[in-house]
Chains A and B, each alone.
Chain A
Amino acid sequence: MAASMASQAVAKGLRIATSKHILLDKAKCTWLSPRRWLNLQEYQSKKLMQESGVAVQRFYVADTASEALEAAKRLNAKEIVLKAQILAGGRGKGVFDSGLKGGVHLTKDPAVVGELANKMLGFNLTTKQTPKEGVKVKTVMVAEALDITRETYFAILMDRSFNGPVMVGSPQGGMDIEEVAASTPELIFKAADQIKRLYDLFLKVDATQVEVNPLGETPEGQVVCFDAKINFDDNAEFRQKNVFAMDDMTEADPTEMAAAKWDLKYIGLDGNIACFVNGAGLAMATCDIIDLHGGKPANFLDLGGGVKEKQVYEAFKLLTADPKVEAILVNIFGGIVNCAIIANGITKACRELELKVPLVVRLEGTNVHEAKRILTESGLPILAADDLDDAAKKAVAAIKK
């Protein structure tokens, strides 16, 4: 019963949402490759939620201990929660290199907030999910602590089986949703209202997932979103400039960031054979086949279809700059991609960067004969391979030498 009440509210929200007409700006538009892996801090996600009218704990952010103290006073709350803002999880059990234990603290005294913030800001917080040396904390969140009498789980996500957004809810503590509806029906309406606002947010920011854990009930009968994880559709970056501008890249892999600048899809892995491939499927398969032949891929790299010689050069530069790379495997099947462009980019890069590791090259497709000629005549120590199996075997063998 409660589920249908909630779903009616949601359905109404859905109808309103789908009737919105997105007016497109017909300005000239180039085919930009979107940035990958947008990560927002907790306070940024909560700010987005606040802007959509979703109930979150009242909070301020602070970059200095005195700001934190002021914020704590301004909150005028019964109890305050101080949270270090880093992207990684496990903050509660983390340790600062200032000696302070725990990245999340509760206190009723604003002065304590100031003292604790002093031991957080500018120091590194190490948790189970951070690198060994931890992550520097530049911002803290000072929020009103609220008691949670009941925790539930709620998420909205784009689902392929349902061809669109689905809502997932999980009541906790063994309480029936019907029982809640019977004894405290107003809570259901409040939750439905929060759900509608979360759905509006989901659409507004082009999210692929909004996960609220927990969606909780306070002793005073408020429904509050205590934490949220929002995943964003990279393809929507062109119309979500404000959201993507919030991207905190300080915790990102520097190579991934540099690659994104050149519109290269690069993901760092932990092996020693660098991959240089056109096409996402072929790039994944190249990593797979290196592994199949006993090697370890150092990265995933998809050059894309319209790749230019400059990008080839920059990609090569990135790969060769990685100290853990002991061999490079180039695997190109040119459809749109002209193999000769790849060959020119590689030979130029090899000459300028003084290639020190074995280079295995497998080329096929558009203009392959011209490409092979360019590579042979370059005089560079390049191992040519016939197919993907051959290329992987040669790359693995080249390291063992």
Chain B
Amino acid sequence: MVAFRYHASSAAQPGCSVLDEAFQRYRDLLFSSSWWQPPERTRKQHAPEKSSLVILVSTPGCNELPSLESGENYTLTINDDHCFLLSETVWGALRGLETFSQLVWRSPEGTFFINKTEIEDFPRFPHRGLLLDTSRHYLPLTSILDTLDVMAYNKFNVFHWHLVDDSSFPYDSFTFPELTRKGSYDPATHIYTAQDVKEVIEYARLRGIRVLAEFDTPGHTLSWGPGAPGLLTPCYSGSHPTGTFGPVNPILNSTYEFMSAFFLEVSSVFPDFYLHLGGDEVDFTCWKSNPDIQSFMKKQGFGNDFKQLESFYVQTLLNIVSAYDKGYVVWQEVFDNKVKVRPDTIIQVWREETPVRYTKEMELITGAGFRALLSAPWYLNHIAYGPDWREVYMVEPLDFKGSPQQKALVIGGEACMWGEYVDSTNLAPRLWPRAGAVAERLWSSELVTSVDFAFKRLTRFRCELLRRGVQAQPLSVGYCEQEFEET
């Protein structure tokens, strides 16, 4: 195999950067010298030689961004007459190229082979995501880009970037540069500049991956405080401020002026239609302690129900963001606390047992007509001894009581790698190949459930990941032809 070629009738042609770049990548992956066996010039086999894989994409769209609605179907036909990849969109072609790369194998003599194959493929769920947390620990740009590469090998298509949180604010805001200067771990080294962000978005796009940016409020915002005085709620002890701060202060107009300006920037920097607005784990104690908030609550008639105050904030924020023509994803608390959201809001389910078991939560959310994303059983930061990938694999996202219409509202899920105990020293082995179990669950048919069959394939795939330079940890006892070598 030497080349990838565009079919004459393909809507994508040379100049289509998504595919041009992909051809180069896959050519390197398949045919570069990283194979451990050197090729021999014997022509013992009588297999017909193929010179190229021909790609036909029927719909143009090379310079666009992938979206939730993007089709990712493709067919792959390898036989005596054809070596043919057909897809509607360039995104489908990317998926097909990855599959093709997994079909090519090398004989002991060194010749490349591919079996006669007929593949028809399309994903079960359109939103197959991976969350990275760059606030608890800064992740260097290379870690993020490397992760995007491996996501593409696994057909993940959403990078959920949990950029900021209590611990640090690495996002370099041009509207509010003080946020970064005062909130990042080190403004010289531990930030993501506008250039970095652009790079991530384009790198992702070339792999058919959407970047879903999350700016979590009103909780999880301690790092915003130093750079935006007055934004966070001052906590009180009796009648005196303690000097510590709580969630975003929901009673001040300045808060919403700030959010308007901030999310105007965010909406322009991140081109995906959706933004993730967070809304999880809002601790009410600080609000409760604050006398101004207490009077506000009284005036509004919220009584002692801080969920209503939270609703008040979130609703105002959602209106701001809607005005920027963005859709939004929120964590399940927003739904649990009965915030009034737009019907096209996507709710992300992350809590395993509270307020109800996550399967019940999926039932409630879809029952109320909202689209749902499943993450609760896929918190990959929760490590344990042994092959925990099996539990991850055995999750059935539609395993709850509901009508077919309800189940259709489950648009997919996300594996989450929260960063409290994770940084670039251990991110790759902790992510891979365990996240691969989630990837298959979200792409493949619900009938593909045999854990033993998955084990066989995932072990081999893990060795292939090693060959591709991914620091994927072992699933169990054994070996790969080419082991990982530390640098």
* A is bound by B: no
Interface residues of B (CB under 8 A from A): none
Query: Which residues of chain A have a CB within 8 Å of any CB of chain B?
Result: none
